[in-house]
Amino acid sequence: MTLPEESGAQPSAEAILSPYDGHVVGHMPVAGADDVESALARAAETFPRMKRLPRFVRADILDRAAQIIEGRREEIARLIAGEAGKPLYDARGEVSRSLFNLRNAAREARAFAGHEVPLDVDSAVFEYQTASADGSALDLSNADLDTLSKLGRRVGLARRYPIGPILAITPFNFPLNLVLHKVAPAIAVGNTVVLKPAPQTPLTSLLLAEVFAQAGLPDGALTVVHCSVPLAERMVKDERIAMVTFTGSAKVGWHIKEQAGRKKVSLELGGNCIGVQRILVHEQVYDRFEAELVRRVSACKVGDPLEEGVDVGPVIDENSARRIESWINEAVAGGARVLAGGRRHGAVIEPTVLTDTTPDMKVECEEIFGPVVTLSKVGDMDEAVRRAADSRYGLQGGYFTNDLARAFRALEDWDVGGLMINDVPIYRIDSMPFGGWKDSGLGREGTRYAMESMTDIKFLVVNYG
């Protein structure tokens, strides 16, 4: 396992600042072109060793990494809160999810396997195989059992093998757990990883690399590269990379797919439903719902993410906060009303509830990525599903109903990667398949599903008859 500063000339270090008050959280080495080349070369050179490691060795590395993180829970949670601006309770929850993620990957590393493909399922195959040059073939319809029992003497085995170095490009909103959604499955199946974390939150990735080194991961199996966009694009195009796995915005994700060439690509992109952005409520309960929602949102404590009891901290930077503020103002200018919040303080957006919005407003049709929800009244649930599904995104949705038939019909009509019945759309257990339809992505994450995408099949047929 290598870090950029270990290769070639010493790179410069960038100060990583708190999005809340701008204090220096830490320093991150900045990778140059030589560092990027070194990372790619080492990932390619180390892959033959990684793919031959026994399953239990890979699993033990993942388990040891979990043990190390368990012992450093509070330190890691505070680092996440510091560089991502995430409230402490939320950062602690992310550490807990990461422990599950690692331990589940260790379990899957021990159990992950291919399967047998039956080859004796059709008589026509055997008639073809026994045919002579003149076209005559064994008449299986009149063959005795002894003859038939001698025919099925082939076995087919579909075995899965790691595909090679993985380029993992990760976002800022979950700087530990979403990194592990890529790194842990890759290690579990025997791939190497070049990790390019979000520029705003690289320190957690740097710490994770240290954890894996301490856990016994082979040198060169995981390299963290904090680099510019042009250098990241160079890695995306590099033929030594077997797969690019990206989580982030739709615009960047689909650009990566265009640049990746023939390599595998997995995209976990945005949406306007995963983080509870649009709320559609039946008119019969709307007034009560609105009053309770506004009461609870207004009661949220806003402030320093490192302070106990804070519910909402800053967004990732002040530019993002200004964008969110402009979307709110644009909606209000178009006729929307602010029921709660709506103001910006530096990089902090007050938890905001908007109503009287329309589907064409950015606060409804684009991913706002901030503490803002829109609240709309609908006459019936079929209308609600139609309106929810009327989007270029399709990551996850939440549908509250006591009618199971309606729930299944909603799943047919609403093209989302996951539909949560009587739960919020952000619900996620890290072992479940996660990904989107339409502009929300390509492929699925979740430990075993990511492991499948990071491997490919070699098929073996043995004729032993």
- What tens digit of pLDDT does each residue of 291-346 get? 999 999 999 999 999 999 999 999 999 999 999 999 999 999 999 999 999 999 99
pLDDT digits (tens, 9 = 90+) for 204-231: 999 999 999 999 999 999 999 999 999 9
Higher pLDDT, 242 or 131: 242
Mean residue pLDDT across the chain: 93
CB 266 within 8 A of CB 453: yes
Lowest mean pLDDT among 3-7, 64-68, 128-132, 312-316: 3-7
Tell me, rounded to whole angstroms, the distance of Cα 212 from its chain centroid.
20
CB 437 within 8 A of CB 415: yes
Residue type, 393: Y
Tell me, rounded to whole angstroms, the distance of Cα 7 from its chain centroid.
29
Mean pLDDT computed over 56-70: 98
**What span, in angstroms and rounded, lies between the C-alpha atoms of 326 and 140?**
76
CB 455 within 8 A of CB 160: yes
Lowest mean pLDDT among 30-34, 146-150, 166-170, 199-203: 146-150
**Is residue 326 domain-shared with residue 400, that is, in the same domain?**
yes
* pLDDT value, residue 144: 75
**Is residue 291 domain-shared with residue 216, that is, in the same domain?**
no
* pLDDT value, residue 137: 67
**Is residue 334 domain-shared with residue 369, that is, in the same domain?**
yes
**Is residue 229 domain-shared with residue 297, that is, in the same domain?**
no
**What span, in angstroms and rounded, lies between the C-alpha atoms of 182 and 175?**
12
Q: Could you give the percent of the chain with pLDDT greater than 70?
A: 95
**Is residue 257 domain-shared with residue 335, that is, in the same domain?**
no
pLDDT band at 132 (very low <50, low <70, confident <90, very high): low
Domain CATH for 226: 3.40.605.10
Q: Is 155 part of any domain?
A: no
**Residue 39, CA distances (Å) to 134, 200, 262 in order:** 60, 21, 21
Start-end of H helices in 12-87: 33-52, 55-71, 73-84
SS (H, E, C) 129-154: HCCCCCCCCCCHHHCCHHHHHCCCCE
Residues recognised as catalytic = 268, 273
Tell me, rounded to whole angstroms, the distance of Cα 464 from its chain centroid.
44
Q: Is 135 part of any domain?
A: no
pLDDT score of 125 more than 90: no
Q: Is 324 part of any domain?
A: yes
Mean pLDDT computed over 249-264: 96
CB 434 within 8 A of CB 445: yes
Q: Could you give the percent of the chain with pLDDT greater than 90?
A: 88
Mean pLDDT computed over 167-194: 98
pLDDT score of 78 more than 80: yes
pLDDT band at 198 (very low <50, low <70, confident <90, very high): very high
* pLDDT value, residue 391: 93
* pLDDT value, residue 75: 98
pLDDT score of 3 more than 90: no
pLDDT band at 273 (very low <50, low <70, confident <90, very high): confident
* DSSP letter string, 217-245: PPTTSEEE----HHHHHHHHH-TT--EEE
Report DSSP state, residue 315: -
Q: Is 168 part of any domain?
A: yes
**Is residue 233 domain-shared with residue 179, that is, in the same domain?**
yes
Partners of 156 in the β-ladder: 117, 461
Q: Is 433 part of any domain?
A: no
* pLDDT value, residue 122: 79
* DSSP letter string, 111-132: H---EEE-S-S-HHHHHHHT--
pLDDT score of 133 more than 70: no
**Is residue 264 domain-shared with residue 286, that is, in the same domain?**
no
Backbone angles phi, psi at 26, to 5 degrees: 175, -175
**Residue 389, CA distances (Å) to 11, 381, 395, 426 in order:** 48, 12, 11, 16
* pLDDT value, residue 239: 97
* pLDDT value, residue 76: 98
**What span, in angstroms and rounded, lies between the C-alpha atoms of 243 and 265?**
6
* pLDDT value, residue 147: 73
Mean pLDDT computed over 277-297: 97
pLDDT score of 154 more than 90: no
Q: Is 287 part of any domain?
A: yes
**Is residue 302 domain-shared with residue 340, that is, in the same domain?**
yes
**Is residue 75 domain-shared with residue 193, that is, in the same domain?**
yes
pLDDT score of 452 more than 90: yes
pLDDT digits (tens, 9 = 90+) for 366-405: 999 999 999 999 999 999 999 999 999 999 999 999 999 9
Mean pLDDT computed over 169-183: 97
pLDDT score of 409 more than 80: yes
Q: Looking at the chain, how many residues does it have?
A: 465
* DSSP letter string, 68-96: HHHHTHHHHHHHHHHHH---HHHHHHHHH
Q: Is 85 part of any domain?
A: yes
> What is the dihedral angle through the alpha carbons of 115, 121, 124, 126, rounded to the nearest 10 degrees?
70
Q: Which residues constitute the domain of residue 173?
A: 4-113+161-269+440-457
* pLDDT value, residue 148: 72
**Is residue 258 domain-shared with residue 342, that is, in the same domain?**
no
Half-sphere exposure of 126 (CA within 13 A, CB side): 19
* pLDDT value, residue 126: 73
**Is residue 301 domain-shared with residue 401, that is, in the same domain?**
yes
Start-end of H helices in 281-418: 286-298, 318-333, 362-365, 381-389, 404-413
pLDDT score of 8 more than 90: no
Residue type, 274: I
pLDDT score of 356 more than 90: yes
Strand ranges of the sheet holding 372-378, from the earlier edge strand across to the other edge = 278-282, 372-378, 352-355, 337-340
Helix (H) or strand (E) run with residue 399 in it? strand 396-399
Query: Environment class of residue 318 by beta-carbon count within 10 Å: exposed (0-12), middle (13-18) or buried (19+)?
Result: middle
Domain CATH for 324: 3.40.309.10
Strands 455-463 and 418-421, bridge-based pairing: unpaired
pLDDT score of 6 more than 70: no
Question: Per the structure, how many domains does the chain have?
Answer: 2
State the first-to-last Cα distance of the chain, in angstroms, to the nearest integer: 48
Query: Environment class of residue 16 by beta-carbon count within 10 Å: exposed (0-12), middle (13-18) or buried (19+)?
Result: buried
**Is residue 85 domain-shared with residue 53, that is, in the same domain?**
yes
Q: Which residues of 273-290 are buried (b: 16+ CB within 10 A; e: fewer)?
A: bbbebbbbbbeeebeeeb
